[in-house]
């Protein structure tokens, strides 16, 4: 039968549907079985409602209030001025802000971003089920932009946190939060990249990147996978005017949970420390040493009495590995050291005058940053 005859016998609607089905199978071969037929055992996912049902009740909206003293007029205390204008009480102004948070512990502990609650005099939390309560600040880690809050409520839904996280670039992800204060909202995208750093967003950077729409108010909310499991804490966006342009960043869940445990136990995040300063290895230096890549850092300074000095490191050494892990261009190594518990023994692999050397040392505790 000719194509024209087939169209006449089936009718245009049926023929059009068959054509669309054929094009779909050609475009998505994973929907076909081993012999090219549709595979009923792997149906296409058309909804992420189950993932949202599991994760959304653990995501909260956060509202903060900061009381600011209004600046007095410079003449307010002048005797001449006081003769005509009676003294008035100091005026106060309330400044409000919003964000999101994630319930990660049945005892009522929440994770959010430090910038969401920074300087707040009052923190209130609105739960998915409509309950509202005041939250207590347990502690913060400005260097990773994380904060831990505590609420005293029963029957809390806790988000599922896989350990370790098995997220891969290309995975579907969902961002859940309270953008612009409109209420809990879910957006969908893919995991665009992992291990993002040098963004000048925080001291310790190891971000997940996604193209899921994230806007003002999403900070501190959840980035989850298609099973509703926590992948990260949404933290920042890249773009003008604080609106989404398809590039946003989240702190990985394992890093956030490690900070949570440290803050609950110690009141702060305890980090490992070597006590040295480094700069990236240049291509010219790598070529001169017959290195195949620039994966390494040049030691520029060693602090007196530090674990680095005790190990025997000197300026000019090239640090390539900590234990068996490459330091990359420096940021990866810094994160690795910070995540290592003080008191742990490590092996430093270096190049000195082109010769490979292994040095042993014990990781110290990083001194608290000096407040400015």
Q: What is the DSSP string of 260-278?
A: HHHHHHHSS---EE--EEE
Residue burial 296-320, b: 16+ Cβ < 10 Å; e: rest: bbbbeebeeebbbbbbebeeebbbb
The pLDDT assigned to 205 comes to 84
* Per-residue pLDDT reduced to its tens digit, 232-270: 999 999 876 667 788 999 999 999 999 999 999 999 999
* Per-residue pLDDT reduced to its tens digit, 2-32: 555 554 555 555 556 656 665 655 655 555 5
User: Where is pLDDT greater, at 96 or 165?
Assistant: 96
With cut-offs at 50, 70 and 90, classify the pLDDT of residue 116. very high
Q: Could you tell me the residue ranges of all domains in the chain?
A: 1-41, 45-69+91-269, 272-365
Q: Taking residues 184-203, what's their average pLDDT?
A: 89
* Per-residue pLDDT reduced to its tens digit, 340-352: 989 999 999 999 9
CA distances in angstroms from 53 to 46, 49, 172, 201, 206, listed in the order given: 15, 6, 16, 31, 28
With cut-offs at 50, 70 and 90, classify the pLDDT of residue 280. confident
User: Where is pLDDT greater, at 44 or 284?
Assistant: 284
Active-site choice (192, 219, 248, 255): 219
The pLDDT assigned to 296 comes to 85
User: Where is pLDDT greater, at 182 or 245?
Assistant: 182
With cut-offs at 50, 70 and 90, classify the pLDDT of residue 372. very low
The pLDDT assigned to 142 comes to 93
The pairing of strands 132-134 and 136-141 is: unpaired
**Does residue 115 carry a catalytic annotation?**
yes
For residue 216, pLDDT over 50 is answered with yes
How many angstroms separate the CA atoms of 138 and 265, rounded? Answer: 10
Bridge partner list, 137: 149
What count of other Cβ atoms lies within 10 Å of the Cβ of residue 65? Answer: 13
**Does residue 248 carry a catalytic annotation?**
no
Decide: helix, strand or coil at residue 346: strand
Do 303 and 278 touch, CB atoms closer than 8 A? no
Decide: helix, strand or coil at residue 26: helix
What are the helix and strand counts (H, E) for the chain? Answer: 9, 21
Active-site choice (100, 105, 115, 244): 115
The pLDDT assigned to 291 comes to 76
Lowest mean pLDDT among 42-46, 145-149, 311-315: 42-46
Assign domain 45-69+91-269 one CATH number from 2.40.10.120, 3.40.190.80, 3.30.1300.10, 2.60.40.10. 2.40.10.120
Lowest mean pLDDT among 86-90, 265-269, 365-369: 86-90
Active-site choice (105, 141, 145, 254): 145
- What percent of the chain is modeled with pLDDT above 70? 79
Can you say whether the dihedral through the CA atoms of 193, 195, 200, 204 is positive or negative? positive
The backbone torsions φ and ψ at residue 80, rounded to the nearest 5 degrees and listed phi first, read -65, -45
How many angstroms separate the CA atoms of 191 and 101, rounded? Answer: 20
What count of other Cβ atoms lies within 10 Å of the Cβ of residue 211? Answer: 18
User: Where is pLDDT greater, at 277 or 290?
Assistant: 277
**Does residue 321 carry a catalytic annotation?**
no
Report the CATH number of the 272-365 domain.
2.30.42.10
Q: What is the DSSP string of 237-263?
A: E-SGGG--SS-EEEEEHHHHHHHHHHH
């Amino acid at each position: 039968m000719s194509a024209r005859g087939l169209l006449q016998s089936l009718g245009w609607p049926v023929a059009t549907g068959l054509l669309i089905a054929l094009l779909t199978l050609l475009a998505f071969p994973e929907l076909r079985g081993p012999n090219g037929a549709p595979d009923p055992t792997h149906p296409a996912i058309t909804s992420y409602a189950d993932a949202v049902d599991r994760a959304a009740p653990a995501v909260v909206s956060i509202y903060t209030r900061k009381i600011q003293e209004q600046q007095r007029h410079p003449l307010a205390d002048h005797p001449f001025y006081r003769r005509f204008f009676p003294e008035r009480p100091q005026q106060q102004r309330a400044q409000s802000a919003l964000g999101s948070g994630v319930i990660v512990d049945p005892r009522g502990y929440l994770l959010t971003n430090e910038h969401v609650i920074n300087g707040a005099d009052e923190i209130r939390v609105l739960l998915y089920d409509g309950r509202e309560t005041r939250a207590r600040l347990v502690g913060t880690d400005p260097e990773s932009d994380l904060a831990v809050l505590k609420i005293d409520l029963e029957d809390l839904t806790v988000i599922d946190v896989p350990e370790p996280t098995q997220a891969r670039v290309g995975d579907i992800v969902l961002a859940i939060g309270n953008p612009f204060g409109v209420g809990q909202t879910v957006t969908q995208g893919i995991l665009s990249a992992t291990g993002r750093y040098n963004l000048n967003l925080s001291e310790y950077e190891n971000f997940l990147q996604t193209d899921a729409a994230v806007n003002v108010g999403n900070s501190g909310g959840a980035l989850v996978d298609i099973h509703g499991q926590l992948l990260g804490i949404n933290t920042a966006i890249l773009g003008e005017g604080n609106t989404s342009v398809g590039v946003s960043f989240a702190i990985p869940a394992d890093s956030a949970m490690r900070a949570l445990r440290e803050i609950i136990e110690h009141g702060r995040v305890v980090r490992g420390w070597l006590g040295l300063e480094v700069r990236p290895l240049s291509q010219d230096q790598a070529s001169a040493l017959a290195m195949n890549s620039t994966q390494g850092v040049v030691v520029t300074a060693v602090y007196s009495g530090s674990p680095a000095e005790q190990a025997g490191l000197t300026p000019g050494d090239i640090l390539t590995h900590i234990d068996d892990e490459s330091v990359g261009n420096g940021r990866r190594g810094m994160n690795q050291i910070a995540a290592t518990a003080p008191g742990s023994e490590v092996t430093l692999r270096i190049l000195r005058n082109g010769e490979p050397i292994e040095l042993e040392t014990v990781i110290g505790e990083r001194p608290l940053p000096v407040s400015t």
